[in-house]
């Protein structure tokens, strides 16, 4: 009986420890990620909005700041703010001079 209680205590302690540590969302580079990767990583961004982000990037070039995402139809400041910690922006590659 005491071994069962010990096992239960261990399980309870392990559960408490597992849920007491913050979980970290995966970061995503919005200048290189696919629409599927973007929709998987960002809260409130489904497949349609993720495709709009990729289309905007293709048409206008790489994003310079996270706030620039608000220029994409369907992406507002609230969406950017709740994902700010997950958004990475790679530096655009310099084009070689001729």
Fold of 28-88: DNA polymerase; domain 1 (1.10.150)
Contact by Cβ (8 Å): 35, 49 = no
Q: Give the pLDDT score at 6.
A: 73
Query: 50-60: b or e for each residue (b if 16 or more CB lie within 10 Å)?
Result: bebbbebbeee
The tens place of each residue's pLDDT in the chain, 98 residues long, gives 677 777 777 667 666 655 544 445 579 999 999 999 999 999 999 999 999 999 999 999 999 999 999 999 999 999 999 999 999 999 866 665 66
pTM for this predicted structure: 0.70
CA 42 to chain centre: 4
How many C-beta atoms surround the C-beta of residue 30 within 10 A? 27
């Amino acid at each position: 009986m005491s071994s069962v209680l010990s096992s239960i205590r261990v399980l309870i302690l392990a559960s408490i420890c597992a849920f007491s540590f913050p979980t970290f969302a995966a970061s995503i580079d919005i200048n290189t990620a696919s629409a599927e990767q973007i929709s998987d990583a960002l809260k409130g961004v489904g497949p349609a909005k993720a495709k709009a982000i990729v289309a905007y990037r293709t048409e206008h070039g790489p994003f310079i700041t996270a706030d620039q995402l608000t220029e994409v139809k369907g992406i507002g400041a609230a969406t950017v703010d709740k994902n700010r910690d997950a958004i990475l922006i790679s530096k655009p590659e310099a084009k070689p001079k001729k």
